[in-house]
């Protein structure tokens, strides 16, 4: 059992604080992903958990034990590095066996574990090669194998896929997710790629400037981002942010943008919107909320007609991304590949208002996020 608690964890370099009082509870066997832009402190946090970075303040508890001053090797963790960090002068077998040899494991046990890991990762035929004779994907597997043979309670993965090409990354994503189920261990994974985070994680920790922004399941992060940063970070292409004014209309509250009243859906709590009447709010619309022809399952009352000008078309095959201007504001829409709009043409679109987000422009927080949403994972 290895639940991990980060309590008011922080990291400073002289006067510079890179991780600010982070609180995080990670359940046993959870797959948790730390995500955020470069310099947000996600790797530093992981390295503190690994014991590679000294903890400047706060407590790190693994499996009930305070491990702030416990050396890496005694924390029952294994780590996969971004550049794999395989020992160049050792064969694949030795790379994987080395940790066990240092722990004076029996030769038969080492052999059994290495062979087993190699079989799972499909690298049995590579055991006698040196790392330089392997491709990127193979090195990645060896790095995973080196972590697996140790049979640790916690796997730490620091951007393990960022050096692979797009196709291989997709394959390895699925394999790592499978591996997590099979190994029954806690995975803590760092990435700046929100697709990796969305597809693999039980829960995602979104970080910015050394602070945790939101911790939740991928779907909740997507549906209910607590602030503009999370809203912009999760989802691709990015959410469109429009500065609007809240007005009261016959149908209820509306967000006025460029003289048009975009009626807000009824399920949004009017008590939380009322204080903003007559004030500016930021309206968040995901590119997926735009339609050329709205599907029948969206209630007519939630659909708004808008007029746009097509500036750019990016065909993706299955869909098309349009760069549009809507009353002088640039927005992005994701439409079905059937859309034949050309650059320079006018295009009428329907907006599905049922999924809108509203943010306070000063605090940047969602009007509907009471306190940072926390949901504990059922272990």
Partner 1 sequence: MARKPLRLFGHRVHLQTVIAYLLAIAITIVMLLPFAWMLSASLKLDRDVFAFPIEWIPSAPRWQNYVDIWTRIPLALFIYNTTKLTVIVTLLQLFTSSFAAYAFAKLRFAYREVLFLAYIATIAMPWQVYMVPQFLEMRALGLNNTHLALICLQAFTAFGVFLMRQFYMSIPDELCEAARIDGMNEYQIWFRIMLPLSKPALSTLTIFTFVSTWNDFLGPLIYLTKTELKTIQIGIRMFITQYSTEYGLIMAASIVSLIPVLIVFLALQRFFVEGIASSGLKG
Residue 109: exposed, middle, or buried by beta-carbon count in 10 A (0-12, 13-18, 19+)? exposed
**Secondary structure of residue 85 in the 3-state scheme:** coil
State which of residues 12, 56, 111, 136 lies at the interface with partner 1 (CB under 8 A).
Answer: 136
CB atoms within 10 A of CB 324: 23
Q: Work out whether 130 is an interface residue with partner 1 (CB under 8 A).
A: yes
The nearer residue to partner 1, 10 or 43, going by C-beta atoms, is 43
Q: Work out whether 12 is an interface residue with partner 1 (CB under 8 A).
A: no
Q: Would you tell me the crossing angle of helices 166-183 and 136-149 to the nearest 10 degrees?
A: 10
- The DSSP bridge pattern shows strands 319-326 and 303-315 to be antiparallel
For residue 219, give both structure tokens: 């779907």
| Site map (CB under 8 A) of partner 1, residues 270-309, x = contact | ----------------------------------------
Q: Work out whether 63 is an interface residue with partner 1 (CB under 8 A).
A: no
| Degrees to nearest 5, angle at CA 60 with 221 and 24 | 15
Q: How many residues bind partner 1 (CB under 8 A)?
A: 30
The nearer residue to partner 1, 73 or 279, going by C-beta atoms, is 73
**Which ranges in 77-165 belong to alpha helices (H)?**
92-102, 107-121, 136-149
Span interacting with partner 1, options 33-41, 85-93, 115-123, 220-228, rule CB under 8 A: 85-93
Closest separation in Å from C-beta 51 to partner 1: 8
Closest separation in Å from C-beta 97 to partner 1: 10
Q: Work out whether 83 is an interface residue with partner 1 (CB under 8 A).
A: yes
Closest separation in Å from C-beta 146 to partner 1: 8
The nearer residue to partner 1, 16 or 102, going by C-beta atoms, is 102
Q: Work out whether 106 is an interface residue with partner 1 (CB under 8 A).
A: no
State which of residues 139, 141, 286, 334 lies at the interface with partner 1 (CB under 8 A).
Answer: 139
The nearer residue to partner 1, 45 or 302, going by C-beta atoms, is 45
Residues of this chain, 141-170, that bind partner 1 according to CB under 8 A: 146, 163
The distance of Cα 217 from the centroid of its chain, to the nearest Å, equals 10
Q: Work out whether 177 is an interface residue with partner 1 (CB under 8 A).
A: no
Please state, in angstroms and rounded to a whole number, the distance separating the CA atoms of residues 15 and 306. Answer: 51
Task: Name the CA dihedral angle for 214, 279, 331, 266, rounded to a multiple of 10 degrees.
Answer: 70
Q: Work out whether 13 is an interface residue with partner 1 (CB under 8 A).
A: no
Q: H-helix or E-strand containing 84?
A: none
The nearer residue to partner 1, 53 or 111, going by C-beta atoms, is 53
Please state, in angstroms and rounded to a whole number, the distance separating the CA atoms of residues 133 and 29. Answer: 34
Provide the β-strand partners of residue 77.
Answer: 154
Closest separation in Å from C-beta 50 to partner 1: 7
C-alpha radius of gyration, the chain, whole number: 24
State which of residues 8, 103, 119, 178 lies at the interface with partner 1 (CB under 8 A).
Answer: 103
Please state, in angstroms and rounded to a whole number, the distance separating the CA atoms of residues 317 and 23. Answer: 42
Max CA separation in the chain (angstroms): 79
Provide the β-strand partners of residue 351.
Answer: 290, 304
End-to-end C-alpha distance for the chain, whole angstroms:
11
Q: Work out whether 81 is an interface residue with partner 1 (CB under 8 A).
A: yes
Q: Work out whether 73 is an interface residue with partner 1 (CB under 8 A).
A: yes
The nearer residue to partner 1, 67 or 231, going by C-beta atoms, is 67
The contact set with partner 1 (CB under 8 A) reads: 50-52, 71-73, 77-79, 81-89, 95, 98-99, 102-103, 130-132, 136, 139, 146, 163
């Amino acid at each position: 059992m290895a639940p991990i608690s980060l309590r008011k964890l922080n990291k400073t370099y002289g006067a510079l604080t890179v991780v600010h009082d982070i609180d995080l509870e990670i359940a046993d066997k959870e797959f948790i992903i730390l995500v955020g832009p470069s310099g947000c402190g996600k790797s530093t946090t992981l390295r503190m958990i690994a014991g590679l970075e000294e903890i400047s303040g706060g407590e790190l508890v693994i499996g009930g034990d305070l491990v702030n001053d416990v050396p890496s090797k005694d924390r029952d963790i294994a780590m996969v590095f971004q550049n794999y960090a395989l020992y160049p002068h050792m064969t694949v077998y030795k790379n994987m066996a080395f940790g066990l040899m240092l722990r004076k494991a029996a030769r038969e046990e080492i052999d059994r574990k290495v062979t087993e890991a190699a079989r799972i990762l499909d690298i049995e035929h590579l055991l006698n090669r040196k790392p330089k004779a392997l491709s990127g994907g193979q090195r990645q597997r060896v790095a995973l194998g080196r972590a697996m043979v140790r049979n640790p309670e916690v796997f730490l993965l620091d951007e393990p896929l960022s050096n692979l090409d797009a196709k291989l990354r997709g394959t390895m994503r699925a394999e790592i997710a499978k591996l997590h189920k099979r190994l029954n261990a806690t995975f803590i994974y760092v990435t700046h790629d929100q697709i990796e985070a969305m597809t693999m994680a039980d829960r995602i920790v979104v970080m910015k400037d050394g602070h945790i922004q939101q911790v939740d399941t991928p779907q909740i992060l997507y549906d209910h981002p607590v602030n503009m940063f999370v809203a912009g970070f999760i989802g691709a292409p990015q959410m469109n942010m429009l500065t609007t004014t809240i007005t009261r209309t016959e149908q209820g509250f509306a967000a006025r943008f460029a003289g048009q009243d975009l009626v807000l859906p009824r399920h949004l709590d009017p008590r939380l919107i009322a204080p903003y009447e007559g004030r500016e709010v930021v309206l968040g619309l995901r590119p997926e909320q735009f339609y050329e022809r709205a599907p029948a399952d969206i209630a007519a009352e939630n659909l708004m007609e808008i007029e746009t000008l097509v500036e750019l078309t990016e065909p993706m095959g299955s869909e098309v991304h349009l760069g549009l201007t809507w009353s002088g504001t640039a927005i992005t829409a994701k439409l079905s590949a059937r859309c034949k709009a050309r650059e320079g043409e006018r295009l009428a679109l329907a907006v599905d208002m049922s999924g809108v987000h509203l943010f306070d422009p000063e605090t940047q927080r969602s009007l509907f996020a009471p306190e940072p949403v926390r949901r504990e994972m059922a272990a």
